[in-house]
Structure 1
Amino acid sequence: MIKKKIFPRLLALNAALLMAGCSMIPTYQRPAAPVADAFPGYASATQSAPSAALDAPAAASVAWQDFFSDARLKGLIEQSLANNRDLRVAVLNIEQARAQYQIRRADQLPTVNGVLTGSRAPGANGGASSLYNVGLTVTAYELDFFGRVASLKEAALAQYLASEEGRKTVQISLIAAVANAYLSVLADEELLGITRQTLATRQESVRLSRLRFDNGVTSELDFQQAESLLQAAQVAYAQQQRQRALDENALTLLVGQPLAPGMLPSATAGQTVALAQFAPMLDVPAGLPSGLLVNRPDIRQAEQQLLAAHANIGAARAAFFPRISLTVGAGSASSQLSELTKSGSWGWTLAPQLLLPIFDAGRNIAGLDSAKVGRDIAVAQYEKAIQTAFREVADALATRATLADQLQAQQRQANAEAVRFKLSNLRYQNGVASYLDLLDAQRSLFAAQQAVVQTRLAQLQSQVTLYKALGGGWKEALPAALAATQQAAVMAAAPGASAPAR
């Protein structure tokens, strides 16, 4: 009766002592953002902006399905989210971090094992004695009075949450990379179309120049100049074909599988290819730097790593204090294996152990110093993440503000060059202008048309970059395979998985 009452009381006392354990994790205070209060030129822009623009949704609240309107691009993004290996690695990193967190969380509870042992030793009268034991045992369970195990669990939890934010960062980057690669392929197709038209025009010019030269109307100089321009167009066409193939290969790698027929438009297949006809993307306003702290997953990832570093300091501090462990066993013992289940063989053991650090050659001090330096490194990385995010948004805003004007001016220049080429051709046909003037107008028109396509590509890609820099692109349902993995991870970590105190 006494034994049956004592064992439950010991377990209750153990639980009470465990709950009374203290934490030595330093109080966390979010470092101040080492950036300006507003983006360069943003304050003045918001004052003069119409109310409709200011009421536009923030980028982080706009799912990529709403931001992109092009059906082909949406299909490519969906395939990349399902098949891209970098995103798959990011999801598996979450699984690994979750398993590490579960290991640390399990350290807070005793591990109960079933034990069956047998021993045989020489007896007092020259014979041999046997002893058999069977029962349950808890070996070296640490009573976490000073929060060492709890601190390690909090560090593992922060790392787990950081891996989830890392997955979101990878997804945002993947969506932006697929969109930019798709736009590059469209630009390549449009440039190829322009070059094919230029080639046809220059081949006709070479034919006419050859005819005039053979009839003695013009000199060989005019013919060689026309031939030179034709070969220059051939060079440009070969370069653009190579770039088109490279961009398609890059897009295939991002998607993670071979592209299905019809996923990319092609002028050779009779499809109209022009960036000017690309479905417009939703315009999103820029937020303030304080908004970046909420919307950018990479900044939240850096903050979770900073919280993990704080928790490691708590574990390092707890190492200076006594470590109390408990070994408990309960079962039956007998000299005969067949008598283990008989009455009267029941017994239990209780073996507490107190380990007090006295001399460790500075190991604990070095461990605490290392944890503090790790915290300082995490602070610097967190501040650098904010500065990087601020610079990316500022660059995207500056690019968006100037590319619109540049594109308009470039289009006007291309229109002027087209009129110039038409007039130069008329003047040459009527003998007023030289053939050199006609070839120069033809060359300038080709360069101006290429510049328009390249500037329009830069403008569209800058919209994608701004959307990415503002933290948009991850608020949507994952593909079925990834969603199942993520749901299992969250459900497994849910019990007791409270975030560290902010």
Structure 2
Amino acid sequence: MRRACTATAAACLLTGCAAGPDFVRPAPPPDSGYLPAGQPAGGVQVFHPGAAVAPDWWRLFGSPELDRMMRAALANNATLQAAQAALRQSQEELRAGRGVFWAQLDLAFSAQRQKAAPLTSGLTALRGVFNVFTLGGTISYLLDVAGANRRTVEALGAQADFQRSEMLATWLSLSGNIATTSIARAAYAAQIAATRELVRRQAEQRDIARTQAAAGIAPFSSVLSIESQLASSRASLPALQQRYDQATHLLATLVGRSPSQWSAPPVALDQLTVPRDLPLTLPSELVRRRPDILSAEARLHVASADIGVATAALFPKVSLAASYSTEGREIEHMTGPRGRFWQTGAVVDLPLFHGGTLAHQRNASVEAWRGALANYRQTVLAAFAQVADALSALGHDSDAVAAQQQALNAARQALALLEANYRAGLVSYLDVLAADAQLQRARIDFIQARAQQLQDSAALYLALGGGWWGLPAQSLQGPAP
């Protein structure tokens, strides 16, 4: 009894440790900002360091149509549903893996009809054909002496974390695609309208120039010059319309519908609001929020656990098992004492020589961990660069929008002045049309600058992680089928 107690205590002590390194999350970087000059200047947009990122950040653009499309996409997008299913699969695999910590209990029943060969059993009498019924139970337990089971389950948990991060990345990518595509589609629609107005004005210029050339008061070269500008403006319309159609088809796909069955509602560019107050997550918080960084961290955790599994393979494996069965020629005789049998024991599997396989497998796991660590560091650097790009772009966008607004205002003033001079008889109507065409060009340039500012504002929210942590977990994971 004393020896049995000692052996049991030793086994318990041994199962309290696990081979391999314990995973420690990489420390947050010491960076306090993203740009070398400190906090960026966003013009009319103000950055608030440490402010929370709204989980429904797209609503800050002030478009009910955009919000409806976003909610439809988050509910029906097939790619997101596949990522949610992969997450639930990994969670079930983790729950299944935890079963290794419990004793395994099995019950078996067999019914056989046999004809014995007496000589193979050392018998001389021929017993003929007979039945054998067997009922037995087995219980087994694998002592996790070196912690292989715990490291394996740890790897499954890290894999579930990885799938969760991948699902969050899909959610973030989907919301970003819906927002940026809607903005681009609105910009294409505004450019098409402005270009059509430009074509109409240039056609009027051409007709007047033809009349003047026919009357001999203007050279025919002016007609050719206007014809060239008109043809160029007309040529830009099919390309704009194609981009508009492609954006419409993409939105239908993202919402989970066929382009032939669903068309995105129109979103007017001038109805979209540029967010004035923008959050700016600190770098130390960003590494705990960005899905791509969390995915890289989960892969690092899996690699760390794999080292433990490979290390545990170098140590002995101990399993305990016991079985009890009863057997008889007839079912009613199975409970008799002559048909009962049992066995119990322990099996120790001690690896002695495998040609260096186990050691090299552990070395390979260590190198895999080093590669995962390098990938994690690179992912963090890429994330910081993406935030820096978004911040820098918003600063440049503010200058570009201000300059284009100034050019647009100047074109409007020039047109108003020429119209007044035309009414006074000081200039020709051709001059008025030329000024109006210049106004349409300035409007197109302003549309492009404003659309870029809106898209870069959305890019900042995406670079900061999208605020998914503010949503209920069930809404992200999706309902189980």
Q: Is this a same-fold pair by TM over 0.5?
A: yes
Using structure 1 for the length normalisation, give the TM-score: 0.82
Amino acid aligned to 1:30 = R
Q: For residue 3 of structure 1, what is the aligned residue in structure 2?
A: none
2: CA distance, partners of 1:481 / 1:168:
8
Query: Pick from 64, 69, 78: which aligns with 1:76?
Result: 69
Count of residue pairs brought into register by the alignment: 466
Mapping of residues 346-495 of structure 1, within 5 Å:
346-420=340-414, 444-474=438-468, 475-477=470-472, 483-485=478-480
Alignment-derived partner of residue 196 in structure 1: 196
Deviations 1:375-397 (A, max 9, x none): 11111121112111101111111
Separation (CA, whole Å) in 2 of partners of 1:325 and 1:14: 16
Give ranges in structure 1 of 5+ residues lacking alignment.
1-8, 267-272, 489-502
Q: Give the 3 Å change call, closer, same or farther, for CA 153–14 of structure 1 in structure 2.
A: farther
The 3-state SS of whatever aligns with 1:294 is coil
Q: Confirm or deny that 1:332 pairs with 2:310.
A: no
Q: 2:201, 2:10 → 1: CA distance?
A: 88
In the alignment, does 2:92 pair up with 1:93?
Answer: no
Please state whether the residue corresponding to 1:226 is helix, strand or coil: helix
3-state SS of 1:204 partner: helix
Shift in CA distance, 427/231, structure 1 to aligned 2, threshold 3 Å: farther
Equivalent positions of 1:221-232 (< 5 A) are 221-232=221-232
| 2:265 equivalent in structure 1 | 264
Q: Which amino acid aligns with 1:388?
A: A
CA distance in 2, matches of 1:282, 1:431: 45
How much has 1:55 moved relative to structure 2? 7.5
In 2, the alpha carbon distance for the partners of 1:112 and 1:263 equals: 57
SS in 1 for 2:217: coil
8 Å contact from structure 1 (residues 35, 390) kept in 2: no
**Could you tell me how far apart the structure 1 residues matched to 2:192 and 2:27 are?**
51
Q: Matched residue of 2:101: which SS?
A: coil
Unaligned runs of 5+ in 2: none
**What code does the residue aligned with 1:346 have?**
R
Q: Conserved in 1, the CA contact under 8 Å of 2:14 and 2:146?
A: no
Residue 16 of structure 1 and its aligned partner are, at CA, apart by: 7.1
Q: Which moved more, 1:118-127 or 1:174-183?
A: 118-127
Please give the alpha-carbon distance, in whole angstroms, between the structure 2 residues aligned to 1:460 and 1:353. Answer: 67
Question: How far does the alpha carbon of each residue in 1:401-430 deviate from its partner, in whole angstroms, 9 at most, with x for none?
Answer: 121121011111122234445656787996
Q: Secondary structure at the match of 1:58?
A: coil
Q: Deviations over 1:104-126 (max 9, x none)?
A: 22223233222234566434123
TM-score by length of 2: 0.85
Q: CA deviation at 1:251?
A: 1.6
Mapped pair 1:301 → 2:295: yes
Which secondary structure state, in structure 2, belongs to the residue aligned with residue 202 of structure 1? Answer: helix
Q: Percent identity of the aligned residues?
A: 26
Aligned counterpart, 2:126? 127
Residue number in structure 2 paired with 1:237: 237
Deviation at 1:153, TM superposition (A): 0.6
User: Could you say which residue in structure 1 is the equivalent of 2:20?
Assistant: 25
Give the Cα–Cα distance (whole angstroms) in 1 for the partners of residues 351 and 237 of structure 2: 76
Quickly say closer, same or farther: Cα 1:142–1:293, change in 2 above 3 A.
same
- CA 1:70–1:15 in structure 2 vs 1: closer, same or farther (change >3 Å)? farther
- For 2:282 and 2:175, how far apart are their aligned partners in 1? 23
Equivalent AA in structure 2 for residue 29 of structure 1: V
Counterpart of 1:325 in structure 2: which amino acid? S
2:362 partner amino acid: L
Alpha carbons 2:161, 2:295 under 8 Å: kept: yes
Q: 1:197 to 1:434 in 2, by over 3 A?
A: closer
Structure 1 pair 45/183, CA: closer, same or farther in 2 (3 Å)? closer
Per the TM alignment, residue 289 of structure 1 is displaced from its structure 2 partner at its CA by 1.1
2:138 match: 137
- Across the aligned residues of Structure 1 and Structure 2, the Cα RMSD in angstroms comes to 3.5
Q: 2:38 aligns with which of 14, 24, 43?
A: 43
Partner of 2:282: 288
Instruction: Point out the more displaced range, 345-354 or 194-203.
Output: 345-354
Opposite residue 21 of structure 2, the aligned amino acid is: P
Q: Any conservation in 2 of the 1:80–1:254 contact (CA below 8 Å)?
A: yes
C-alpha displacement of 1:320: 0.6
What is the aligned partner in structure 2 of residue 495 from structure 1? none
CA contact (8 A) 1:181 1:247 kept: yes
